[in-house]
Amino acid sequence: MKDLFDQVVNLCKRRGFVFPSADIYGGFRSTYDYGPVGVLLLRNVKAAWWRSMVQLRDDVVGLDAAILSPPAIWEASGHLSSFTDPLVDCKSCKERFRLDKLDDPDLCPSCGKRGTFTEARQFNLMFKTHAGPVESEGAVAYLRPETAQGMFTNFKNVLETSRKRPPFGIAQVGKSFRNEITPQNFVFRTREFEQMEMEFFVPPDEAQHWYEYWCQERFRWYQELGMPEEALRLRPHDPDELSHYSSGTSDVEFLFPWGWDELEGIANRGDYDLRAHATASGERLEYFDQASGERYVPHVIEPAAGATRTMMAFLLAAYDEDEVNGEARTVLRLHHRLAPYQVAVLPLSKKEALTPLARDVLRALQPHFMCDYDETQAIGRRYRRQDEIGTPYCITVDFDSLEDKAVTIRDRDTLEQVRVPVDAVVAELRDRLS
Ligand code: ATP
């Protein structure tokens, strides 16, 4: 299983999914850049989430809030006082660790010595900066450590402008920043990452129902996109794991090469957040039901997922090796909705005679699908490259195509090849990819 992790990390660099950031300067503290195919995969993960959470529903609206935010928000939310992790230093080797993630709280995993840790101190994970040219206390700003607070602080704006009423949700996808003590496992835990979060505001007596609904709904999303059943589980938190305001939290977990770990948390947060911001801001953050004359502070169900972490899990789940015509092949069996390219157009040779038709086919496909075009190297090597980046269909234009006006469609998984008239290619692929 450890091998799988290394294989995927290698593939990411080799094929242009993920590069170490500032690579030419030796990298920069566990930050990563998403390359030509990585940016497509990551966008597709976020688009699949948005489609399921916003586009296919009429009870969730979107938001894109600012990343820079004033201390008042984080004071009210409790992040300034308690968004901390316990930090310990090893007095022997000087390494630093997050105490709650150590297998043995007394054993240094770096130098192997016992009893060398300092007392744990609470380390705040928020990145602090200054807005404007003067680095005074009054100019302090924070990079958001989660996207959720943007939904709470805009609750009133959205309620007044969107014509929604509880139960309804506000969804957001975007970057978050946490000064993690030990970023690790490639893009699993980084200091800069992307989240996909939704706050679902409900009448208080419906909270339990919606909590259970969102646990099932979110679990289903991963399965629908091809995560194998045996690598996915929904784990309810034990009572001693729950935050003080949460009456229920479940994690969607994936079986990573190092064991089960979190992809997403679904929490029943009660009215904690809206009440905290109402008290701190002096605004009324509640809902008045004109029909019943009832006024209440909605309760909140929050499915909070990581986009970059989930992308990595999809890569791990999709990685496969098999044999084709006696040759080893690496293939990413990504769901077609997630694959960076849905189609690759590959003229059989670079000969000029084939280029115009191949380019016509490409231009016909481009408005409908994300396409790659590759005319270098032998066709077998080009198939291998497309398999490695997970392209579900390759279209080959050959010399017969010039006569019969037909091309070959090759299926990544079954390796089946079928001849299709050029005029029917878009419809055929639409059918297969719908
Ligand atoms: P952990 O306990 O692993 O630090 P968390 O429980 O604090 O994470 P949440 O605050 O619930 O995480 O964030 C929601 C989701 O955001 C997580 O399930 C994860 O997918 C993602 N996430 C959180 N921190 C990071 C990080 N440092 N790097 C990448 N993704 C992250």
At 392-420, the pLDDT tens digits run 999 999 999 999 999 999 999 999 999 99
CB 66 within 8 A of CB 150: yes
Q: Are residues 226 and 267 in the same domain?
A: yes
List the CATH number of the domain containing 372. 3.40.50.800
CA 369 to ligand 1 center in whole angstroms? 32
Q: Is 304 in the pocket of ligand 1 (CB under 6 A)?
A: yes
Phi, psi of 111, deg, nearest 5: -105, -5
> 194-205, pLDDT tens digit by residue?
999 999 999 999
Judge whether 110 lies within some domain. no
> 238-259, pLDDT tens digit by residue?
988 888 888 899 999 999 999 9
Judge whether 21 lies within some domain. yes
Q: Are residues 354 and 308 in the same domain?
A: no
Q: Are residues 351 and 211 in the same domain?
A: no
| Distance (Å, whole) CA 42 – CA 338 | 8
Question: Predicted confidence band at 2 (pLDDT cuts at 50, 70, 90)?
Answer: low
CB 335 within 8 A of CB 421: no
C-alpha count within 13 angstroms, C-beta hemisphere, residue 218: 29
Number of domains in the chain: 2
CB 147 within 8 A of CB 173: yes
Q: Is 192 in the pocket of ligand 1 (CB under 6 A)?
A: no
Q: Is 178 in the pocket of ligand 1 (CB under 6 A)?
A: yes
Chain-centroid distance of CA 433 in Å reads 22
Judge whether 133 lies within some domain. no
1 has a pLDDT exceeding 80: no
Q: Is 308 in the pocket of ligand 1 (CB under 6 A)?
A: yes
Phi, psi of 276, deg, nearest 5: -60, -45
CA 307 to ligand 1 center in whole angstroms? 10
Judge whether 109 lies within some domain. no
Helix (H) or strand (E) holding 390: none
| Distance (Å, whole) CA 159 – CA 166 | 9
Q: Are residues 158 and 212 in the same domain?
A: yes
Q: Are residues 58 and 170 in the same domain?
A: yes
Q: Is 53 in the pocket of ligand 1 (CB under 6 A)?
A: no
3-state secondary structure of 191: coil
CA 339 to ligand 1 center in whole angstroms? 24
* Domain end marker among 300, 315, 330: 315
Cis peptide bond N-terminal to 167, omega within 30: yes
Q: Is 180 in the pocket of ligand 1 (CB under 6 A)?
A: yes
Chain-centroid distance of CA 338 in Å reads 11
Averaged pLDDT for residues 267-280:
98
205: number of Cβ within 10 Å: 9
Judge whether 370 lies within some domain. yes
Q: Are residues 258 and 301 in the same domain?
A: yes
Phi, psi of 352, deg, nearest 5: -55, -30
CA 147 to ligand 1 center in whole angstroms? 11
| Distance (Å, whole) CA 369 – CA 342 | 6
Judge whether 90 lies within some domain. no
> 7-52, pLDDT tens digit by residue?
999 999 999 999 999 999 999 988 999 999 999 999 999 999 999 9
Q: Are residues 267 and 379 in the same domain?
A: no
Q: Are residues 229 and 263 in the same domain?
A: yes
Q: Are residues 366 and 303 in the same domain?
A: no
Q: Are residues 188 and 281 in the same domain?
A: yes
Judge whether 373 lies within some domain. yes
Judge whether 112 lies within some domain. no
Owning domain of residue 379: 341-433
Q: Are residues 200 and 289 in the same domain?
A: yes
List the CATH number of the domain containing 151. 3.30.930.10
Q: Are residues 157 and 260 in the same domain?
A: yes
CA 52 to ligand 1 center in whole angstroms? 21
| Distance (Å, whole) CA 331 – CA 211 | 37
Q: Is 309 in the pocket of ligand 1 (CB under 6 A)?
A: yes
Ligand 1 atom 25, closest CA:
189
| Distance (Å, whole) CA 20 – CA 186 | 9
Q: What is the pLDDT of residue 125?
A: 96
